[in-house]
Amino acid sequence: NAGVTQTPKFRVLKTGQSMTLLCAQDMNHEYMYWYRQDPGMGLRLIHYSVGEGTTAKGEVPDGYNVSRLKKQNFLLGLESAAPSQTSVYFCASSQLAGVSYEQFFGPGTRLTVL
């Protein structure tokens, strides 16, 4: 099992450009999450999904959109990138059932907006 994977690993954008980050999981998890990590700020939730076709806003959703068309994929979009969106983005998934509530994280995407 690959677990949670993210593409791309690195990206540099110019202000105003758009891009999509892809997260994929092969654990058949219902729940998926997008976080951003900035120095000294911990992990902040951007958007999340509790199942295929559903999405919801997290703590810092402005400037981002998401889609969950397939259970195994969760896409994060930046329509018009801003320097404030320079960050490391982590995707995570969990099942939230049975004996484990663990969130499994992907390897991260380092995004720089110039």
Q: Which residues of this chain interact with other proteins, rule CB under 8 A?
A: 31, 33, 40-45, 48, 50, 56, 58-59, 90, 94, 96, 101-103, 105-108
Which residues 6+ apart lie within 8 Å of 27 measured at CB?
1, 3, 4, 93, 95, 104
Question: Least CB distance from residue 11 to other proteins, whole Å?
Answer: 16
Residue 60 · residue 46 · CB < 8 Å: yes
Question: Least CB distance from residue 105 to other proteins, whole Å?
Answer: 4
Distance CA 104, CA 92 (A): 5
Distance CA 21, CA 50 (A): 19
Question: Least CB distance from residue 82 to other proteins, whole Å?
Answer: 23
Q: Between 65 and 95, name the residue whose CB sits nearer to other proteins.
A: 95
Question: Least CB distance from residue 102 to other proteins, whole Å?
Answer: 5
Structure letter (DSSP) for residue 85: G
Q: Between 4 and 78, name the residue whose CB sits nearer to other proteins.
A: 4
Q: Between 17 and 105, name the residue whose CB sits nearer to other proteins.
A: 105
Cβ atoms within 10 Å, residue 65: 14
